[in-house]
Amino acid sequence: MHQGWNCGDYFPDGITNGASWYSLSKGMQDFNYLHTNCFEITLELSCDKFPRQEELQREWLGNREALIQFLEQVHQGIKGMVLDENSNNLTGAVISVTGINHDVTSGEHGDYFRLLLPGTYSVTAKAPGYDPKTVTVTVGPAGPTVVDFQLKRSSSQVYPVQRAPGRGQGGRAKQPRTSRKKDPATKR
């Protein structure tokens, strides 16, 4: 496929958009990309979907270096931690990159990772109850760029919930009595 023509199709530089080669809707790749921090791909290494066992060693040797180099690309982009002003981990913080319509969220321990090509980006971290923080980041061609965010509690004035009159600590509000007409047929 890297030579352009193979499998009866043309692949410029050995690459194709999978949807233009064959269409598949509602796959796990779409779901995981849109609804989780997971980025999945499918690698087509030959025209034969089910190569014979004796061909597997040749396929591995022919693709090993390319696959290893591809795996190493997972470190391309930014990674870091999202913390509050007391250095506590912020789970579920949203990390946005200006101009890219796909956010990622911080994990259970406040960690995040965002694949990005080399370049300069405006990156924002935000979490409910905290002021968002935006930084400019330059991603290089080597390993990940570490970008930690420390968010401060929102400076918006939050007013305490007012208790209804007659409510004490854990008490119930007194309900106003409604007048009922006595039904002579009903004994109390």
Q: How many CB atoms lie within 10 A of CB 63?
A: 14
The answer to whether residue 40 is catalytic is no
Q: How many CB atoms lie within 10 A of CB 112?
A: 23
For tokens 């106003």, what's the residue? 176
Q: Alpha carbon of 48 to those of 26, 42, 58, 150: distances in Å?
A: 24, 14, 13, 50
d(CA 134, CA 124): 4
**Coil/strand/helix, residue 71:** helix
Q: Determine phi and psi for 45, rounding to 5 degrees.
A: -95, -15
For tokens 């007048």, what's the residue? 179
Q: Which of 44, 59, 72, 108 is catalytic?
A: 44
Annotated active-site positions, please? 44
